[in-house]
Chains A and B, each alone.
Chain A
Amino acid sequence: MKSVIINMVDRMKDTEDRRLESLFASDAIPDAGFSMRIEKRIRRQLWVRRLALPIAVVIGGAIAVKPLAGLVTSLMNFVSVLPANVSSNLSGVSALNLPQMSTIALGSMLVVAVITIARLFEE
C-alpha cells in the first residue's frame, strides 16, 4: 500500500514537472548575426589591446624627447665648462652620490607594487 502511494506521488511530480517543462519551453532564437557582432567586438578589443602599448610608448616618447634632448644638451654644456682637475675627480664624487643598495631594493619593490596595482585595476 505504502509503495503505491509513493509511486503515485512520483507520478504526480513527474506530470507536474513535464507540464512545467512544456510551459517553460521556447523556440530556439535564430542567431541573425548575433554571434558575428560578438566576434567583431572581440576582434576589435584584441586589436585595441595589441596596439595600446606601442601607441603609449610612441606618445610617451614624443612627449619625452624634447625635455630629454634638453637635459642631455645641458649636461654636455655643464661638463664642458668644468675645469680639467674637477672633471678628473668627478668619478669619485659621482660614486658617493650613487644610490645605495637599500634604495635600489626599495625602488624595485615600489615599481613591482605599482605594476601589480595597475594590473589589478586593469582586471
Chain B
Amino acid sequence: MNANSTYDSELVARAVAQQDAAAFGELVRRHQSQVRNFLRKLTRDASLADDLAQDCFMHAWDKLHTFVGRGSFIGWLLKVAYTTFLQAKRKSNRYGEILEQAGHQDVSNERQSMPTSDEITDLDKFLAVLTEEERAVMILSYACGLSHREISETADLPVGTVKSIIFRGKEKIRERFEISDHQHG
C-alpha cells in the first residue's frame, strides 16, 4: 500500500466517521479526472459521462462505509462508476422501450450522441469494434492501469474471464486494424 492510498483511507475514515463533506471533496478532487475519463471512454459522450460521474460520486458518498480498504480507493470508485453506468444504461433502455411501445422515437439513443466524423479518433474506432464488456475491461486495463485482479473486482468478473476478455479484445483490434504490422514495421 503506498502513501497516497493510505491517505485516501484516512480521508475515507474521516468522511465516514464525521460525515465530513470536505474530506470527501478532497477525494473527489483527487480522483474526478480518472473517473470522468473512464466514463467518457465508456459512454463516448462527455456531458452524459459528467452527469454519470456526479451520480457516481453521490452513490460513493452513500456507500462509503462499505469501503473496507482491501484494495485501492480508485478501484472501488471505478466499480461504483461502472455500476452507475450499467444502471443508467438499463434505465435508458427501459425508457426507450416504453417510448417505442408508445410509438415514439428512441430519444435515449439520441442523447448518447456519437462523435461526428471529423471528431472520430483511432480510439473511437477501436472501441467501436468491442462489445460493451470488452470496452469496459480494456479501458480499465489500458486507460486506468488497473491490474487483472483489480479489474475482476471492479467489473465483478473472475480473473480468468478478465484475461480472456483482454485477449479477445486485443485480437479483435489486431484483426481489424493490423496493429501487429505497425509494431513490426
**A in complex with B:** yes
Measured CA separation A28–B32 after assembly (Å):
9
On whether the beta carbons of A34 and B183 are closer than 8 Å, the reply is no
Known: A23-B142, A29-B32. A39 touches B22 (CB 8 A): yes
On whether the beta carbons of A16 and B180 are closer than 8 Å, the reply is yes
> Which residues of chain B (100-143) have a CB below 8 Å from chain A?
122-123, 126, 138-139, 142-143
On whether the beta carbons of A36 and B25 are closer than 8 Å, the reply is yes
On whether the beta carbons of A23 and B180 are closer than 8 Å, the reply is no
On whether the beta carbons of A21 and B142 are closer than 8 Å, the reply is yes
Cross-chain pairs A/B with CB under 8 angstroms, 24 sampled: A12-B180, A12-B183, A16-B170, A16-B174, A16-B180, A17-B142, A19-B179, A21-B142, A24-B41, A24-B139, A25-B143, A26-B37, A26-B41, A29-B36, A30-B33, A31-B29, A34-B53, A34-B54, A35-B32, A38-B61, A39-B24, A39-B28, A41-B58, A46-B19
Measured CA separation A21–B22 after assembly (Å):
34
Instruction: Decide if B21 is an interface residue (CB 8 Å cutoff).
Output: yes
Measured CA separation A34–B145 after assembly (Å):
23
> Which residues of chain A (11-51) have a CB below 8 Å from chain B?
12, 15-17, 19-21, 23-26, 28-31, 34-39, 41-43, 45-46
A-contacting residues of B (Cβ < 8 Å)?
19, 21-22, 24-25, 28-29, 32-33, 36-37, 40-41, 50, 53-54, 57-58, 61, 122-123, 126, 138-139, 142-143, 145, 170, 173-174, 179-180, 182-183
